[in-house]
């Protein structure tokens, strides 16, 4: 019975059995849906033995019945937003993915070599899948902490995990954010900024959001560390972008966010967002004021509804975001990438 059920699930996920042979791609690795298998969760899990690098992924979605398909991969990255297809119709979508080792947090578990994809959604329907090397693709590097990183375990989700769905083929998110890191530790650990610096190519944007763990970093040191990060990115040919930190969900009695804990003023009285904003002018660096954007959103929702953006109910955690929170905050970042022309319009969805 189990074998029969899996075969039926495979037929549904692939759109139609008749369409399945067309899914075998003729690329250099011979990849296609023969690299995929249905899971008990109703998704299709695919694995490709490829070396670290950037790869274009093209999927043909749809089939005989209506569908709704999303694509994720590697360490819980959202790569393609859920896409609806009408019965008897197909659509083709492409994106670029960064494959590296370790695949998630730089100091976290190694993960699996190669590229892992998960074809899911409310009603996944897939008729073709192709992977091709894209060595010339741009990378959008992320330098940050646990609010940004590729979180390995549900329900934790960093906004960097949700950012790829906003990018088209030709640019991949290279998320090097790591839990627990400050400006001090990101510079000190060779697995962190040294690795990013060595991988930067001319024109690659590098978004820098570090503050949550600079709890005992004085203002002069904080400024010096951010300045060093910016200058080293530029020396490597990259384009540094400063990002103020996402707020913590910590309210005053009047429904506004607390000026200390929520808005990232540390134990020494250092106002991290203010320091970052000042560096925008002195260093001539583009700024994404994510503190202001997330503050506005959290206060708009208010003390009760804003719980859904964080892990308040699940973990009594008002710092780390839920999938919903990370998704909303990634959309805010994507909006700033467009508004400030950090990435060209043709590379943004």
The full set of domain ranges for the chain reads 2-133, 138-347
Write out residues in the chain with pLDDT < 70, as ranges: 1-31
CA 19 to CA 13: how far, in whole Å?
11
The β-bridge relationship of strands 115-123 and 171-175 is unpaired
On whether the CB atoms of residues 54 and 96 are closer than 8 A, the answer is yes
CA 39 to CA 6: how far, in whole Å?
8
pLDDT at 32: 80
Q: What is the pLDDT of residues 268-309, one digit of tens each?
A: 999 999 999 999 999 999 999 999 999 999 999 999 999 999
The β-bridge relationship of strands 239-243 and 205-209 is parallel
For residue 102, say if its preceding peptide bond is cis, omega within 30 degrees of 0: yes
CA 150 to CA 267: how far, in whole Å?
28
Pick the CATH number of 2-133 from 3.10.20, 1.10.287, 3.10.350, 2.60.120: 2.60.120
Tell me the C-alpha to C-alpha distance, in Å, between residue 147 and each of 175, 249, 296, 308, 319.
12, 13, 18, 15, 8
- Closest alpha carbon to 148 in 251, 243, 262, 273: 243
pLDDT at 339: 97
CA 217 to CA 343: how far, in whole Å?
32
With b for 16 or more beta-carbon neighbours within 10 A and e for fewer, the 37-46 pattern comes to ebeeeebbbb
CATH no., domain 138-347: 3.40.50.1110
Q: What is the pLDDT of residues 298-328, one digit of tens each?
A: 999 999 999 999 999 999 999 999 999 999 9
On whether the CB atoms of residues 149 and 104 are closer than 8 A, the answer is yes
Question: Can you give the pTM of this predicted structure?
Answer: 0.92
**What would the 3-class secondary structure string for 92-115 be?**
EEEEEEEECCCCCCCCCCCCCCCE
pLDDT at 6: 40
Beta sheet of 115-123, edge-to-edge order: 36-38, 44-48, 115-123, 67-73, 77-85
- Residue linked to tokens 């075998």: 24
pLDDT at 27: 39
With b for 16 or more beta-carbon neighbours within 10 A and e for fewer, the 233-264 pattern comes to beebebbbbbbbbbbbbbbeeeeebeeeebbb
pLDDT at 23: 36
């Amino acid at each position: 019975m189990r074998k029969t059920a899996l075969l039926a699930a495979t037929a549904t996920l692939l759109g139609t059995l008749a369409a399945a042979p067309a899914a075998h791609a003729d690329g250099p690795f011979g990849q296609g849906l023969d690299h995929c298998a249905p899971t008990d969760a109703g998704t299709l899990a695919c694995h490709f033995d490829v070396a670290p690098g950037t790869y274009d992924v093209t999927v043909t979605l749809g089939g005989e019945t209506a569908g709704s398909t999303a694509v994720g991969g590697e360490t819980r990255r959202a790569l393609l937003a859920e896409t609806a297809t009408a019965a008897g119709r197909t659509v083709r979508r492409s994106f670029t993915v960064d494959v590296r080792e370790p695949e998630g947090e730089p100091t976290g578990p190694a993960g699996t070599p190669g590229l892992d994809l998960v074809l899911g959604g409310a009603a996944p329907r897939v008729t073709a899948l192709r992977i091709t090397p894209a060595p010339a693709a741009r990378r959008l590097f992320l330098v940050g902490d646990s609010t940004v990183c590729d979180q390995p375990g549900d329900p934790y989700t960093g906004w960097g995990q949700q950012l790829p769905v906003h990018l088209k083929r030709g640019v991949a998110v290279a998320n090097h954010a790591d839990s627990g890191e400050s400006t001090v530790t990101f510079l000190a650990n060779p697995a962190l900024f040294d690795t990013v610096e060595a991988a930067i190519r001319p024109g690659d944007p590098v978004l820098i959001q570090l503050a949550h763990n600079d709890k005992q970093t004085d203002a002069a040191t904080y400024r010096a560390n951010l300045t060093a990060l910016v200058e080293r990115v530029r020396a490597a040919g990259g384009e540094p972008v400063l990002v103020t930190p996402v707020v913590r969900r910590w309210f005053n009695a009047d429904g506004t966010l607390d000026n200390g804990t929520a808005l990232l003023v540390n134990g020494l009285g250092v106002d991290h967002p203010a320091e970052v904003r000042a560096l925008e002018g002195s260093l001539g660096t583009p700024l994404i004021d994510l503190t202001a954007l997330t503050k506005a959103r959290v206060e708009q929702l208010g003390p009760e509804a804003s719980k859904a953006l964080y892990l308040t109910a699940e973990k009594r955690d008002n710092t780390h975001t839920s999938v919903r929170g990370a998704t909303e905050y990634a959309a805010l970042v994507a909006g700033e990438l467009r508004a400030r022309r950090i990435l060209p319009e043709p590379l943004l969805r």
